[in-house]
Amino acid sequence: MPADPATDPADGEGAVRELLLAARAHDGRPEVEETGPLPREFRGGRHLLARDDAGTLVGYAHLDTAGDALGNQIVELVVHPRRRRAGVGGSLVAEVLSVEHPLRIWSHGDHPAAVRLAARFGLARVRELHRMRLGPTGELPAPVLPDQTTVRTFEPGRDEEAVVAVNARAFDWHPEQGQLTVEELVATERESWFDPAGFLLAERAGRIVGFHWTKIHPDGVGEVYVVGVDPDAQGGGLGRALTLVGLHHLRQVGADEIILYVESDNLPAVTVYSRLGFFVEATDVAYQH
């Protein structure tokens, strides 16, 4: 099953989108729309296109060559649902692993096929990301902000640098989130889902000290996209208060179902979300040699 390396899938973007949409219909992932740009995790970098003898695209792998803060290139790999268990995934993994660079390969939903491939290629589970969900039932507590702290909405063209600075301090430990740049934030403002009314900033003495960035998916599901608190402002309940501010906003705009992603070993955060009614519905796993 040949894999065709490319730096830009432009000549095959329609086929890639069709494959990703088929995977979404079967697996619920990835979050790809029928029009517009491909999801960010499939842009730039390096692309591997696996085709059958008739030239039909049956598998696709994307390598984020910019990598994460730990120096790993990040791999997203998708096989068409009708062409699975036929060696396509194994061929793509073998091709990906020929790259002489540290890699992390994501399996969304901890797919059994990925478990088998990991065992075959000697890959270890190095990171687990829980997807937690909050249903429509149950009352949310009212947020209690620390003294002298107010909340307002994000203003494009004004708040980017301050938010990125807080984000960098809040997530200096995180492989991806801490690398957010002003340019990336501005680019995200052009995404179809971006809504400044759902980007909530906490201020103290005129300085941004935290934020809760929410998201509404095309199917109406809300998401706790990012909650960040400046380390200098931690310890006073601001994180919990911002979480609740965002949850109330999502409920007010009609998002009955709300999801979030959290590192499985971040026990304090998992505990906070569990107490608010969230439960773990799936786990994404990163594999690495």
- CB within 8 Å of 74: residues ≥ 6 apart: 41, 63, 64, 67, 68, 103, 104, 106, 176
224 is in an annotated binding site: no
**208 φψ region: left (φ > 0), alpha (ψ -120 to 50), beta (else):** beta
Rounded CA separation 20/24 (Å): 6
Rounded CA separation 40/269 (Å): 26
Three-state DSSP at 232 gives: helix
Task: Please give the sequence-ordered ranges of beta strands (E in DSSP) within 7-102, or none if there are none.
Answer: 46-51, 57-64, 73-79
75 is in an annotated binding site: no
285 is in an annotated binding site: no
236 is in an annotated binding site: yes
Tokens representing residue 109 in the block:
């939903």
128 is in an annotated binding site: no
239 is in an annotated binding site: yes
234 is in an annotated binding site: yes
Round to the nearest angstrom and report the end-to-end CA distance of the chain. 23
229 is in an annotated binding site: yes
87 is in an annotated binding site: no
100 is in an annotated binding site: no
78 is in an annotated binding site: yes
**148 φψ region: left (φ > 0), alpha (ψ -120 to 50), beta (else):** left
HSE-CB at 35 with a 13 A cutoff on CA atoms is: 1
79 is in an annotated binding site: yes
215 is in an annotated binding site: yes
| Burial class of 66 by CB neighbour count within 10 A (0 to 12, 13 to 18, 19+) | exposed
Residue numbering of the annotated binding site: 34, 77-79, 176, 215, 223, 227-229, 234-240, 261
Residue numbering of the annotated binding site for acetyl-CoA: 77-79, 227-229, 234-240
